Amino acid sequence: MITVMLVDDHPMVREGLRSMLEAEPDLTVGGEADSGAAAVELAASLCPDVVLMDLRMPGMDGVTATERILAIRPETKILVVTTYETDADILRAVEAGATGYLLKDASRTELGDAVRAAARGATVLAPSVADRLVQRLREPAQPALSAREIEVLRWVAKGRTNAEIGQELHISEATVKTHLLRAFNKLDVSDRTAAVTTAMNRGLLNT
């Protein structure tokens, strides 16, 4: 019997997952958590074979919870189940040690098969997620943004003007423009909105 732990801040989502899993004769739900912090605590006592982890929750997010659970129980397999499939979300989950990444529109059969595969140690990726990872690996390496360029983009994301950013960072407005132009070139974009969006998708503005 494979013991599964559910982590999601929405009770209806947990109820739906529990219903699908317990319809399978070899799967059982051992416990539920409604936050990342609660998940870490419960995993330590429950010792589940597989954790179904939501990514975005108040307080501690799913990526941080994944890292902490694996730090204390590296043998536990964590399968991300979420509605989000941006490049940044996928990469953060995989880098944190998640065994797989499923979307919440998965069928009962897909979910059951994914849990069994994860329990065996296999990597499980939703088709659309696998396609995005393969595409990302095929892309030529992008020049890295400097720490200052990322800092400027963070202020742009907050809606600040070049003059306001210059005041915040104690640099001239012309220097702000130079950093932005370099960032545009590295990100292969031509405007502020596209630069922020691209940087966010690549996980560069996550703090």
CATH code of the domain covering residue 172:
1.10.10.10
Q: Indicate whether 47 belongs to any domain.
A: yes
Per-chain mean pLDDT for the chain = 89
Query: Could you tell me which residue, 20 or 140, shows the higher pLDDT?
Result: 20
Q: Indicate whether 68 belongs to any domain.
A: yes
Query: Same domain, yes or no, for 107 and 151?
Result: no
CATH number, position 47: 3.40.50.2300
Instruction: Return the pLDDT at 139.
Output: 60
Q: Indicate whether 207 belongs to any domain.
A: no
Q: What confidence tier does 87 reach under pLDDT thresholds 50, 70, 90? A: low
Q: Indicate whether 79 belongs to any domain.
A: yes
Nearest to 85 by CA among 126, 113, 114, 52: 126
- Is the Cβ–Cβ distance between 65 and 39 less than 8 Å? yes
Query: Same domain, yes or no, for 51 and 78?
Result: yes
Q: What confidence tier does 94 reach under pLDDT thresholds 50, 70, 90? A: confident
Number of C-beta neighbours around residue 168 at 10 A: 15
Within 73-191, where are the H helices?
87-96, 108-119, 127-138, 147-157, 162-169, 173-187
State the residue range of the domain holding 159. Answer: 147-201
Q: Is the pLDDT of residue 132 over 90?
A: no
What is the count of structural domains for the chain?
2
Q: Indicate whether 206 belongs to any domain.
A: no
Query: Same domain, yes or no, for 100 and 159?
Result: no
Distance CA 91, CA 105 (A): 20
Query: Same domain, yes or no, for 113 and 28?
Result: yes
Give percent of the chain above pLDDT 70.
Answer: 93
Query: Same domain, yes or no, for 124 and 160?
Result: no
Query: Same domain, yes or no, for 26 and 109?
Result: yes
Q: Indicate whether 70 belongs to any domain.
A: yes
Query: Same domain, yes or no, for 114 and 197?
Result: no
Q: Is the pLDDT of residue 104 over 90?
A: no
Q: pTM for this one?
A: 0.66
